[in-house]
Amino acid sequence: MVPDHTAAFAPGRVNLIGEHTDYNEGLALPFAIDAGVRVSALATGGQRISARALDLDATDEYQLGGEAPSPGDWRAFVRGITAELAAAGLPVRGAELEIEGTVERGSGLSSSAALEVALALALLALGDADVVPPWPLARICSRVENEWVGAQTGLLDQLASLCGRENAALRIDFRSGVITPVPLVLGDWRLVTLDSGVGHANAQSGYNDRRRECARACELLGISSLRDLDAAMLERLPAPLDARARHVLEENARVDAAVEALSRGDLPELGRLLDASHTSLRDLYELSTPEVEATVQRLRDAGAVGARIMGGGFGGHVLGLMAPGAVPPAGAREVTPGPGARVLER
Ligand code: GLA
């Protein structure tokens, strides 16, 4: 029977390591967290969408097929999702939508992907659609970021939200499409995130510039993606493209080193890899800020064995690995791997 009421939840994510590698067909190691976005959808019979963002006390109304851009605003995500689902030939019905979130916006914990994925799942359930597999669904959601929000982001956040597993991180290979759960056994160690106080928005930060730089590096080298790069090619690139490319090359290697360290239970080594990732993102990829550096330092002062900027960069939350017994700084929140996005009611 076609449902007349559905609800879905999609989590935000933490990326353990493997930053700015997704759009370079590289490797990453994210996990879904408990916080996320819940969307409920009530079929209304017509072609009208009315949406309410409960946390913002804001509303939107439009006709399906008549979605207009709404730059820099939560409405862009709702309009983008209904338009992109329909463009992909998926059923979208007129509905009243209610949106509620527990992951801070602009935090670097992928509130945007959580919103896109929760909207998509609630609407697809309402349309009684067949299950759409993670990669194509992540691509639809990512088109919303690219075409409706203006951030040329990759698929990391959407895949982490869709495929999250309890007690595991996900090794994602963005070239082969293979996603492998990696048990995240921390014992008395803890992963925490700490807000740098600088909100970030990928559409307005230097994110799109970095993506362009990587594309330009590929053009100059005559390769289709930086996954085909080897160290000998770096000297053929002018600054700062050589530095950007070196980061991607070494960050991919750090992902597999982290998977190995986890398999041996070698958490001090994981900490060293997080630090190396941060140094590379700061010095080679140049996307740190003084506030982020101060936040990394606060975590280290509190006993973090590794700490790094996370996500798109230029602000947001910092990830820290706390040794047993270390007390995280005030305001830090512990993050643990939770299940992926799901339909709650249909
Ligand atoms: C943001 C983007 C992702 C990814 C990360 C950096 O979170 O949405 O696609 O590129 O930045 O690793």
Report the pLDDT averaged over residues 221-244. 98
Q: Is residue 70 scored above 90 in pLDDT?
A: no
The residue ranges of DSSP E strands in the chain, in sequence order, are: 5-15, 27-28, 30-43, 48-53, 58-63, 95-101, 168-173, 179-183, 190-195, 304-309, 317-322, 333-334, 342-345
DSSP state of 24: G
Q: Kindly list the protein residues whose Cβ atom lies closer than 6 A to any atom of ligand 1.
A: 19-20, 22-23, 153-154, 156-157, 202, 311-312
Distance 93 CA to ligand 1 centre (A): 31
> CA-CA distances (angstroms) from residue 274 to 70, 191, 251, 310?
37, 11, 10, 10
47 and 127 in contact (C-beta within 8 Å)? no
Pocket test for ligand 1, best of 157, 193, 212, 252 (most atoms within 8 A of CB): 157
Beta bridge partners of residue 289, listed in sequence order = none
Q: What spacing in Å lies between the alpha carbon of 43 and ligand 1's midpoint?
A: 33
Paired sense of beta strands 30-43 and 95-101, if any: antiparallel
Give the C-alpha distances (Å, rounded to integers) separating 30 from 160, 171, 178, 279.
Answer: 6, 7, 14, 19
Q: How confident is the model at residue 202 (pLDDT cuts 50, 70, 90)?
A: confident
Q: Indicate whether 71 pLDDT > 90.
A: no
Q: What percent of the chain has pLDDT over 90?
A: 93
Ligand 1 atom nearest the C-alpha of 108 is 7
pTM attached to this predicted model? 0.97
Give the nearest ligand 1 atom to 18 CA: 12
Q: How far, in Å, is the centroid of ligand 1 from the Cα of 309?
A: 12
Residue 201: enclosing H or E segment and its boundaries? Answer: none
Testing ligand 1's pocket by substitution, the residue of 156, 170, 208, 317 carrying the most ligand atoms inside 8 A of its CB is 156
For the CA of 153, the closest atom of ligand 1 is 9
Residue 120 is predicted with a pLDDT of 98
Residue 219 one-letter amino acid: E
326 C-alpha to ligand 1 centroid (Å): 29
| Atom 7 of ligand 1: nearest residue by CA position | 311
- pLDDT tens for residues 255-269? 999 999 999 999 999
How far is it, in rounded angstroms, from Cα 3 to Cα 26? 40
Cα–Cα nearest to 268, from 310, 308, 304, 317: 304
Residue 8 CA to ligand 1 center (angstroms) comes to 23
Q: Is 184 helix (H, G, I), strand (E, B) or coil?
A: coil
Q: pLDDT (tens digit, 9 = 90+) per residue, 142-191? A: 999 999 999 999 999 999 999 999 999 999 999 999 999 999 999 999 99
List the catalytic residues: 157
The tokens describing 127, both together, are 């349309």
Q: How confident is the model at residue 199 (pLDDT cuts 50, 70, 90)?
A: confident
Provide the pLDDT for residue 229. Answer: 97
- Rounded Cα gap, residues 112 and 144, in angstroms: 10
**Can you give the pLDDT at residue 84?**
98
Query: Prior bond to 181 cis, omega within 30?
Result: no
Pick the atom of ligand 1 nearest to 20's CA.
12
Rounded (10°) angle between helices 241-264 and 207-221: 100
